[in-house]
Amino acid sequence: AVELNGFLSQRIAEMKSSSHLNEQLRLDADEGVKTTTLETVESFFQISQSLLDTLMAEDLQNLLMIKQNGASLDRLVHSLEQQRSSVDKFRQSINQLEAKCSQIKQISVELRKKLKIYRKSTQELKENLEKVLSKHFNGREVHIVGEVNFL
């Protein structure tokens, strides 16, 4: 196939050149060569190149190696087993992370409830403290300022 490609590319180059020697050789050639056009040779070249590409494809090369050599098959099996092991580990990690995520969500909900209770009790404590301080300062209104008001 490689030799055929080389021959066809050489033939295309010869047909594209317009030297007097090439014209003389064409006249002396047999009938099949005389009727062959540049487009036909280029078409043959493209078909030949396509076949060569197919033969050199990695998948086909791997299949040929497997057929000719059992060690190639063993390497391929070992590689697939490693990939399957990696997939299993990743699935296990995903499951663990999903469990942690749901646990964290549950803890977050519980903490939000507690925080709401603490905010409410802090607000009540602030109001009670303001009332006690107001009584202590002869009924004058007392307001506690600061971060406690932004809870």
Q: d(Cα 47, Cα 67) in Å, to the nearest integer?
A: 27
Q: For residue 9, what pLDDT is reported? A: 86
pLDDT digits (tens, 9 = 90+) for 97-138: 999 999 999 999 999 999 999 999 999 999 999 999 999 898
Percent of the chain with pLDDT over 90: 41
Q: Are 38 and 12 in contact (CB under 8 A)?
A: yes
Whether the pLDDT of residue 69 is over 70: the answer is: yes
* Residue with the two structure tokens 């209104």: 141
Q: Give the number of other CB atoms < 10 A from CB of residue 111.
A: 10
Q: How far is CA 113 from CA 106, 108, 109, in A?
A: 11, 9, 6
pLDDT band at 20 (very low <50, low <70, confident <90, very high): low
Q: Are 7 and 58 in contact (CB under 8 A)?
A: no
